[in-house]
C-alpha cells in the first residue's frame, strides 16, 4: 500500500491586509447579502464574481418553498456571468454570509455543488479562480477552485477513447 496527501494552500488576512482590489470584491459580496431571498434558512449569502475584464457580477442565494429549487449565491452569480459574458473568464469570487443581523465570524465556504460548477470555468478558460471567503474574524484566500475539490471530476474523464 502506498499513500499520499493532498495539501491545500489557504492564506488568512484581516480586511486591512487585503489589496484594494480584493477588499473591494469582498465588500461587494458583503453588500450582496442584502440581495438574498432566504425566508426559510434566514442565511443570507452574497457573492461577487470578478471577470477577466474587471466586470463584477453580483450573486445572492435565492430560496424557494420547494427547498431544492433554490440556488446558492455563488451559482446565481456564476450562471448569470456565463450567460451574459460567455467570453469572459471568471478570475475571482468573494463570498460572505449574514444571519441574525450579523456577518458570520468564520468564513463561509462554497458548497460542493458550487465548487463543481465553478471548476467547469477553470477548465473551460484555463484560468484559476481565486476564492475569497469573508468572516468577521478573518478572510481566507484560496488560489483556485480545483484545490477545494481534491481528485476533481471534470470533462477529461468523459473523453472516451474510440
Ligand atoms: N448557501 C449559499 O448561497 N452559498 C453557500 O456557500 C452555502 C449555502 C445558501 C443556500 C441556502 O439558501 C442557504 O445558504 C442555507 O443553506
CA 31, CA 139: separation in Å to the nearest integer? 16
pTM of the prediction? 0.95
CA 144, CA 22: separation in Å to the nearest integer? 15
pLDDT(38) > 70:
yes
Cβ of 146: how many Cβ atoms within 10 Å? 18
Residues with CB under 6 A from ligand 1: 38, 41, 43, 45, 61, 63, 70, 72-74, 95, 108, 110-111, 114
Express each pLDDT in 14-25 by its tens digit.
999 999 999 999
Tell me which of 16, 17, 27, 74 is the catalytic residue: 74
User: Of ligand 1's atoms, which has the minimum distance to the CA of residue 45?
Assistant: 3
Label residue 70 left, alpha or beta by phi (over 0 means left) and psi (-120 to 50 means alpha).
beta
Express each pLDDT in 132-150 by its tens digit.
999 999 999 999 999 999 9
Q: What is the pLDDT of residue 160?
A: 73
> 74 catalytic, yes or no?
yes
CA 146, CA 133: separation in Å to the nearest integer? 15
- CA 108 from chain centre, in angstroms, equals 9
CA 156, CA 153: separation in Å to the nearest integer? 8
Q: What is the pLDDT of residue 153?
A: 86
Q: If you count them, how many residues does the chain have?
A: 162
Amino acid at each position: 500500500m502506498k499513500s499520499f496527501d493532498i495539501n491545500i494552500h489557504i492564506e488568512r488576512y484581516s480586511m486591512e491586509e487585503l489589496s484594494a482590489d480584493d477588499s473591494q470584491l469582498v465588500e461587494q459580496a458583503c453588500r450582496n447579502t442584502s440581495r438574498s431571498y432566504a425566508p426559510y434558512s434566514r442565511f443570507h449569502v452574497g457573492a461577487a464574481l470578478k471577470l477577466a475584464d474587471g466586470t463584477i457580477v453580483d450573486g445572492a442565494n435565492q430560496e424557494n418553498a420547494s427547498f431544492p429549487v433554490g440556488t446558492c449565491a455563488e451559482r446565481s452569480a456564476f450562471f448569470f456571468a456565463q450567460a451574459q459574458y460567455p467570453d469572459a473568464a471568471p478570475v475571482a469570487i468573494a463570498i460572505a454570509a449574514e444571519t441574525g443581523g450579523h456577518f458570520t465570524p468564520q468564513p463561509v465556504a462554497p458548497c460542493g455543488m458550487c465548487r463543481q460548477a465553478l471548476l467547469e470555468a477553470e477548465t473551460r478558460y484555463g484560468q484559476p479562480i481565486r476564492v475569497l471567503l469573508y468572516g468577521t474574524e478573518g478572510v481566507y484566500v484560496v488560489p483556485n477552485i480545483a484545490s477545494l475539490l481534491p481528485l476533481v471530476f471534470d470533462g477529461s474523464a468523459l473523453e472516451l477513447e474510440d
